[in-house]
């Protein structure tokens, strides 16, 4: 593997050579570009929802700690329940839904992948096989956030498409990101022997 310093030097000198051949296991090559199944998509969505849930909990914890800095308890003050310093469950749920929608929208519109998609080797594409545009990503994210059971349609659909995919004309395909283009797996060209003479 090439270090970042070697990569910068190779790019500056023009001696970088792209890696040759696919770096995927031979078993995975047959699935590359195919529509993903229910289990892969469910695991990816579960990873994303877990990340959003942890972010919500982390945000609440930070605000709870800040509340003691802004309004400290003085000695001799009767102890009150800390629930008045923590947002209500309803507010946390609304915040979680909004955060999930924003996270999916940005990820699908920019790279077509969320963290869960990256882990499971998935990518969201439009009906032309390209990245979903911002409006489409926002509507799809809202649809997926408010109606997650639409994913169950993948089980009965012969084309491995959820209700959201059918309505939005999108697909979730297997597309493993095997390298960061031009960095991991980079090979350095051998220096020309004639230039040293």
Mean pLDDT of 17-27: 56
- Residue 32's pLDDT band (boundaries 50, 70, 90)? confident
pTM: 0.73
CB 102 within 8 A of CB 52: no
List 165's β-bridge partners, or say none. Answer: none
Mean pLDDT of 127-136: 92
Please tell me the predicted confidence (pLDDT) of residue 173.
Answer: 92
- Residue 192's pLDDT band (boundaries 50, 70, 90)? very low
d(C-alpha 115, C-alpha 100), whole Å: 12
Residue 178: CB atoms within 10 Å: 15
Please tell me the predicted confidence (pLDDT) of residue 195.
Answer: 43
Q: Which of 19-28, 48-57, 83-92, 162-171 has the lowest mean pLDDT?
A: 19-28
Q: How many residues does the chain have?
A: 197
């Amino acid at each position: 593997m090439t270090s970042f310093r070697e990569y910068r030097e190779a790019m500056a000198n023009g001696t970088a050579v792209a890696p040759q051949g696919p770096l995927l296991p031979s078993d995975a090559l047959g699935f590359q570009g195919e529509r993903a199944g229910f289990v892969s998509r469910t695991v990816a969505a579960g990873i994303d929802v877990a990340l959003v849930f942890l972010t919500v909990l982390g945000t609440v914890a930070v605000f709870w700690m800040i509340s003691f800095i802004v309004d400290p308890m003085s000695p001799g003050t009767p102890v009150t329940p800390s629930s008045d310093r923590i947002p209500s469950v309803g507010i946390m749920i609304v915040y979680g839904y909004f955060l999930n929608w924003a996270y999916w929208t940005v990820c699908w519109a920019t790279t077509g992948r969320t963290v869960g998609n990256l882990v499971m080797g998935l990518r969201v594409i439009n009906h032309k096989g390209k990245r979903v545009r911002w409006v489409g990503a926002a509507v799809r994210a809202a649809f997926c956030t408010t109606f997650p059971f639409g994913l169950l349609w993948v089980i009965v659909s012969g084309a491995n498409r959820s209700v959201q995919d059918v309505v939005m004309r999108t697909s979730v395909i297997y597309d493993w990101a095997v390298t960061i283009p031009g960095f991991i797996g980079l090979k350095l060209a051998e220096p020309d022997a004639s230039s040293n003479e």
